[in-house]
Structure 1
Amino acid sequence: MKNLYSTLFILFIGLAAFGQSAEIKKADKLFVQRAYIDAADAYEDVVDKDQHVLQNLGDAYFFTNQMENAAETYRTLFLRHAEITAPEYQFRFAHALRATGNQEEADKYMSAYTGEDVDYEDFARKLDTAVPHVYTTNQVMSNSSSADFGIAFYGDRIAFASTRNQERPIYPWNKKPTLDLYSAEISDDGELSDIVLFSDEINTDLHESSATFSEDGQVMYFDRTSEDRVKNEEGIRVAHIKIFRAEMVDGQWSNIEALPFTSDEYSTEHPSLSADGSKLYFASDMPGSEGSFDIYVVAINEDGTYGEPENLGTGVNTAHREQFPYIDQKGVLYFTSDGHQGFGNLDVYRTEGDFSEVQNLGNTVNSGHDDFAFVIDEENQKGYLASNRRGTDNLYVFTREDYVPPVVEYDDRETNPETGRQQLRDVGNIYFAFDKSNILPEAEITLNKVVAIMNKYPDLEIEIGSHADSRGSNPYNMALSERRAASTLEYIVSQGISRDRLTSKGYGETVPIVDCEAETINCTKAQFALNRRSEFTIMNDENAMDSEEMEDE
């Protein structure tokens, strides 16, 4: 009888192991097919989760934006198998922790991954002093539970990608229909209306997304998944993404063809056309990329041919994902990345000039989740982006404003310690937005008081001394301060004060109110703002102004 029990026990253990092995094989097959929701369900049924199961289960959660589940699974993975787990899981674990608000633990794993000290609080504090704009963001309302993203300006309408077409095949990754392109009207408060599918020439049973249009609306570039699947390095058959071009002919989108530098072997995606139509920016994982996806630009020749795609380099591109480029009317490039330091997962960045340096747009745009597909109308300071911060990809509308420094109250006048002369203070100082020299409405109130004082004391002569904060090079800050002094002088002259009674001088960053070092950025945004100012110094005999009467002003 004892031998019988032993035999039955061994048989039971063997059957259980066989059953678990079958469950893992089923889950692995779904994972390889990128059916991540179904794969996660299958891995959850595995009783004894080994390293392999925990890695794939964490990834399945991560790739479907189930960040709390991802963080919990990765934590178990590292508690049990930290010494033999690949660094890429540190990277994903850190981003999952960012999304759930656990910044201290995220810093630990991101520091281990990068080999550098990563301090989220320090990053956020420094960025708060450097970002010149504040964004007010609201979700676009469309009465849809679908995933929507990727708005493009399309004449007086917008174009966007959506999974709302229930007649399309279900995509195994997220169990939603494949993407189609739509156009719509959008109100100032972000309400979508008159939502219309693009024609069947554009939309198919494959994914279509990320449209961009020429200024006249006659040419369109967009993404479409390739019909052919090819094996990647892991032996998995993958359908890559290609950029297509279409022309408007007699009111219909026609002559639709893939661009010549696309391929079945890699993806090209997320096109953005420059305002003059001469350059196309896009993302790709083509050979020679720095990471999983990089930002590229290609010249569009006058004869309709294309140059060779050029990688934008390591100032923009990292070993991770850079996607969703958008080139605005002024040549500023916005893009999305999870490789630069940010608030977690995909953040929106900007760069211009030679694209050698990038700047995170700050926490009024970015969250701990994926924030991407940013576009802006520079003239109206209004734009759109997509984010999955509420669980699924949704569209958001934003307005953008320059950061306006606070009004700071001072005594009426003081003695300048360097010149020994009296100067007007706030009746006196005015302040400027970051990197700007125009007179703000708030400053006009102070300047009108200066005008009133100069009218009351007709012998009074004033020097306008203007200043910059410490961000930027010394020559640039000197020129900026001189522009600020000049615009201040011109405003006072426009109010009837003789130009002969005024002089202007720029001091650059040499005479700060608050000593801020640009390299360490050790000041708050408000402290930097105090240094962006114009001061008013009394240049002739101080008896030109009776002190008691001035106090009354």
Structure 2
Amino acid sequence: MKNLYITLGFMLATVAVTAQTRETERADKLFARMEYVDAAKEYLDVKKKDDYVKKQLAETYYNLFNSKEAIKWYADVTKTPQDAETYYKYAQMLKAEGKYEESNVQMQKFASLAPGDQRAKSFLQDPNYLPKLRSQAKLFDEKKLDINDEKYGSFGGVLTNDNTFYFTSSRNTARKTYGADEQPYLDIYTATYNANGTFSEPVPLSDVNSKWHEGTVAVTADGSTMY
């Protein structure tokens, strides 16, 4: 009889794992391909969200840097003991939302599980470094530039000595979208910085851009070489 119970229990567990695998198969493939936007949709569609699905949702939103949704799922996942990296990622999402004290609680858990990790050592040396930095007087004033796009990201601006401005952007809607964030692949754009503080209309740098992502650029002082 004991052997019967053990066998039956094993069979039921196998059936449950198989059903869960089938239910998350598409989401798992999308996650593995870093197509996080679509992966999140698939995981959300799973009717019975067990610990595996909840953690996958937390990880997916972490990779999308959707801190609010990531916090929601990490909070649920960490009701049971987790690995060190999970606590670290949860802490980063809390920090992104300005929840520094809560972030420190998770970092303490991370540090206790991974005391040799340099991130843990740096945290323990100065747990409140970020609030200290934020309390310092501003060294610069920021303002929204007229070349920014409301919908698509732009970053990594470089202004050369001849007032040529280079930056990276995903605004080219004619491009194929990247599965990780459903934004077009990144291109390098250029514009001229005018004497009145405005910029000319940005244009893609066609002799540099490829069909894949183009990263941020660095330009030598004489403007002759781009890296």
Q: TM-score, normalised by structure 1?
A: 0.34
Contact 1:162 1:182 in 2 (8 A): yes
1:140/1:190 contact within 8 Å kept = no
- 2:51 aligned with 1:51: yes
Assess, with a 3 A threshold, how the Cα gap between structure 1 residues 73 and 128 changes in structure 2: closer, same or farther. Answer: closer
Name the counterpart of 1:112: 109
Which consecutive residues of structure 2, in runs of 5 or more, have no partner in the other structure? 1-13, 113-123
Cα displacement (A) at 1:140? 2.3
The alpha-carbon distance between structure 1 residues 123 and 35, as it changes in their structure 2 partners (threshold 3 A), is closer
What is the alpha-carbon distance in structure 2 between the residues aligned to residue 61 and residue 92 of structure 1?
11
Does the 8 Å CA contact 1:152/1:160 hold for their aligned counterparts?
A: yes
Matches within 5 A, 1:535-550: none
Q: Which residue of 2 aligns with 1:547?
A: none
* Larger RCO of the pair (alpha carbons < 8 Å, separation 6+): 2
Q: Secondary structure at the match of 2:141?
A: strand
Q: CA deviation at 1:118?
A: 6.1
The CA deviation string for residues 50-108 of structure 1, in whole angstroms up to 9 with x for no partner, is 332222211111111211000010010001x22xx211111110111112232221110
After superposition, the Cα gap between the structure-2 partners of 1:195 and 1:117, relative to the gap in structure 1 and judged at 3 Å, is closer
| 1:194 CA drift (Å) | 2.3
Conservation of the 8 A alpha-carbon contact between 1:169 and 1:177: yes
Aligned length: 201
Superposed, 1:33-182 pairs within 5 Å as: 33-79=33-79, 81-82=80-81, 85-115=82-112, 116=124, 119-120=127-128, 124-125=131-132, 127=133, 134-142=139-147, 144=149, 145-154=151-160, 155-182=162-189
- Equivalent residue, structure 2, for 1:23: 23
> Alpha carbons of 1:117 and 1:218: their partners in 2 closer, same or farther (altered >3 Å)?
closer
Cα distance in 2 for residues equivalent to 1:88 and 1:188? 49
Partner Cα distance (1:123, 1:181) in 2: 32
- After superposition, give the CA deviation of every residue in 1:121-145 in whole Å (9 maximum; x if it has no partner): x7634x468x676221123232522
Residue 158 of structure 1 aligns to a residue in which SS? strand
Q: Would the aligned equivalents of 1:110 and 1:118 in 2 still touch at CA under 8 Å?
A: no
Secondary structure of 1:208's aligned partner:
coil
Deviations 1:247-290 (A, max 9, x none): xxxxxxxxxxxxxxxxxxxxxxxxxxxxxxxxxxxxxxxxxxxx
Whole-angstrom CA distance in 1 between matches of 2:148 and 2:67: 25
Query: What one-letter code is carried by the residue in structure 2 that aligns with 1:136?
Result: D
Please give the residue correspondences for 1:286-297 in structure 2 after superposition, counting only pairs within 5 Å: none
Distance 1:189 1:98 in 2: 38
C-alpha separation in 2, matches of 1:190 and 1:64 = 34
Fraction of identical pairs, as percent? 28
Q: Secondary structure at the match of 1:124?
A: helix
Counterpart Cα distance in 2 of 1:56 and 1:205: 30
Matched-pair contact (CA < 8 Å) for 2:163–2:193: no
Q: CA deviation at 1:191?
A: 4.7
Q: Name the amino acid aligned to 1:114.
A: A
Aligned to 2:209: 203
Distance in 2 between residues matched to 1:194 and 1:112, nearest whole Å? 49
Give yes or no for contact 1:156–1:185 (8 Å, CA) kept in 2: yes
Structure 2: distance between partners of 1:43 and 1:68: 17
| Equivalent pair of 1:27/1:39 in contact (CA under 8 Å) | yes
Q: Which runs of 5+ in 1 are unaligned?
A: 1-13, 222-553
Distance 2:196 2:68 in 1: 32
Deviation at 1:117, TM superposition (A): 7.6
Say which SS state the counterpart of residue 88 (structure 2) adopts: helix
- Cα separation, partners in 2 of 1:36 and 1:128, compared to 1, 3 Å: closer
What is the CA distance between 1:213 and its match in structure 2?
Answer: 1.4
Cα 1:68/1:61, change in 2 over 3 Å: same
> Matched residue of 1:220: which SS?
coil
Following TM superposition, by how much is the alpha carbon of 1:193 offset from its aligned partner in structure 2, in angstroms?
Answer: 2.5
Instruction: State how far apart, in whole Å, the 1-side matches of 2:31 and 2:17 are.
Output: 21
CA distance in 1, matches of 2:100, 2:47: 31
- Partners of 2:71 and 2:26 lie apart in 1 by 24
| Partner Cα separation in structure 1 for residue 110 and residue 18 of structure 2 | 37
Q: How far apart, CA to CA, are the structure 1 residues paired with 2:142 and 2:104?
A: 27
Q: Which amino acid aligns with 1:58?
A: A
* 1:94 aligned partner, one-letter code: A
The structure in which a higher percent of residues are strand is 1
Report which of the two structures shows the higher radius of gyration computed on alpha carbons: 1
Report the equivalent of 2:219.
213
> Matched residues in 2 for 1:152 and 1:77: separation?
41
- Checking the alignment, whether the CA contact within 8 Å between 2:163 and 2:194 is kept in structure 1 is no
Residue 496 of structure 1 corresponds to which residue in structure 2? none
Measure, in 1, the Cα distance between the counterparts of 2:220 and 2:93: 38
* 1:475-486 aligned within 5 A: none
| Residues 147 and 201 in structure 2, CA contact (< 8 A), matched pair in contact too | no
Give the 3-state SS of the residue equivalent to 1:105 in structure 2. Answer: helix
Conservation of the 8 A alpha-carbon contact between 2:170 and 2:184: yes
Residue identity matched to 2:34:
R
CA–CA separation in structure 1 for the residues paired with 2:198 and 2:41: 36
Q: Counterparts of 1:97 and 1:190 in 2: how far apart (Å)?
A: 37
Measure, in 2, the Cα distance between the counterparts of 1:46 and 1:158.
Answer: 46
